[in-house]
Amino acid sequence: MKNNNVFFWSLVVALGGFLFGFDTAVISGAEKAIQQLWGLSAGEHGFTIAVALIGTVIGAIFGGIPSDKLGRRQTLIWIAVLYFVSALGAAFTSNWYAFMLFRFLGGLGVGASSVTAPLYISEVAPAARRGQMVAMFQFNIVFGILAAYLSNYLLTGAGEQDWRWMLGVQVVPALAFFLLLFRVPESPRWLLSQGRVEEGRAVLRRIDAAGADQLVTDILTSNAADEASGGRSLFARQHRGPVMLAVLFALFNQVSGINAIIYYAPRIFEMTGLGKSSALLSSAGLGLVNFAFTLLARRVIDQFGRRKLMLIGSFGLIATLGLVAWTFYTENFQALGGLLVPALLFVYIAFFAFSQGAVIWVFISEIFPNTVRAKGQALGSSTHWVMAALIAFTFPSLAEKLGGGNTFAFFCSMMVLQLLFVWRMMPETKGTSLEHVEKTLVLH
């Protein structure tokens, strides 16, 4: 019964990941209609699409504040409200400025959920299953992206204003998320950090009745030790190790080129000589591969461990990116009937989903002490989103000025550095309580 409790709570909170993915991808079906409706210039159109990403960065930077002040559960409830209002407002507004405001609010929800949802799940999941539970968040992001593409496809042609249906349908999962959160308890570690010991103990007993009292003692001891050493500040000396790990992990996640490849896959495929329809079909295939290997990684992350997945993934990313760069340098695009680059990028996505994609939210949510976990999660998440924006905005000009070969060679070289980072610096956190991870990482 205790595992059923944790699974249900994690599943509900991971709905924030589904909405994250859905909100990110759903605009792809509406963007042309929006440009025509308001007669937007290229610059205005680009800003209209990017405004949600701006909200995401801001939501990630500041998402740790309400998580600490209001609690993880209350913050998630407000995130559900943001998703609901954003979807409803964007679907019904007839004003361009209001549309951008509603999309910005949705972006705030995406950024804040990337902080609070993995944070909550890591704090309720037993050590032996924490990887699977937190990885459910990433799985739901990928699932949400696929659901958005499918929803857009099914709603295409549903009247002259079909784009409004595409955006508005998100109110259904947002409302479900909001209502189900009232069946989820507050994080026991947050309750204990607020001095609400008996409430925290009661939640821990629903997770593990036999070990709850000992875990309460361990958490309170850990919190007291961190407080005594000035540990409320994220940048206190003893947190230098986790801070460095979180920032580097998030940086490497994005300099792998993942968002450049996902956002610009049709453009990359067309650069190799594929026709537009084949390029779009290949892009849809990337989404399916991402989904399948994210699911596989979720199943094995607690058996293999975070570090082993990252080592496997790093070797795979180096090989595939190196081969893509070589293909551009030699212009050998006709190999495999013109499908060499798509095939290599399919393998690339598989390795990414199996490693970085599945591990990032798990690992960052595990490495910080209870007293600064929300701040640390916000730091890792905001680093991720700032780099995502930077890569997305600069990739077209980089590819044009440097060429495909040099661009992919750069991504490949970054993955060589990631391999060294994982091999020399990344600790293994599987099967270990959060408090024991803290003792391993904190620098005294």
63 and 378 Cβ atoms separated by less than 8 Å: yes
209 and 2 Cβ atoms separated by less than 8 Å: yes
435 and 222 Cβ atoms separated by less than 8 Å: yes
* Neighbouring residues of 271: CB distance < 8 A, sequence distance ≥ 6: 399, 404
331 and 344 Cβ atoms separated by less than 8 Å: no
The three-state (H, E, C) secondary structure of 341-366, written as one string: HHHHHHHHHHHHHHHHHHHHHHHHHH
pLDDT of residue 1: 41
DSSP state of 431: T
Tokens 């500040």: give the residue.
233
Domain ranges of the chain: 2-184, 237-441
Whether 2-184 and 237-441 share one fold: the answer is: yes
| Radius of gyration of the chain measured on its C-alpha atoms | 22
Its pTM stands at: 0.85
Q: Which of 172, 395, 355, 157 is nearest to 262 (CA)?
A: 395
CATH code for 2-184?
Answer: 1.20.1250.20
pLDDT of residue 151: 85
pLDDT of residue 284: 67
pLDDT of residue 134: 92
Residue type, 323: L
Write down the CATH superfamily of domain 237-441: MFS general substrate transporter like domains (1.20.1250.20)
Q: Which of 292, 419, 307, 414 is nearest to 363 (CA)?
A: 307
Q: Coil, strand, or helix at residue 130?
A: helix
Query: Can you tell me the distance from the alpha carbon of 193 to that of 175, in angstroms, rounded to the nearest whole number?
Result: 30
pLDDT of residue 444: 35
Mean pLDDT, the chain cut into blocks of 10 residues (444 residues total) = 79 94 82 86 82 92 93 96 96 94 95 94 90 92 86 80 91 97 96 94 91 90 78 79 94 90 69 59 73 93 95 97 92 74 90 94 90 91 90 78 90 97 94 78 49
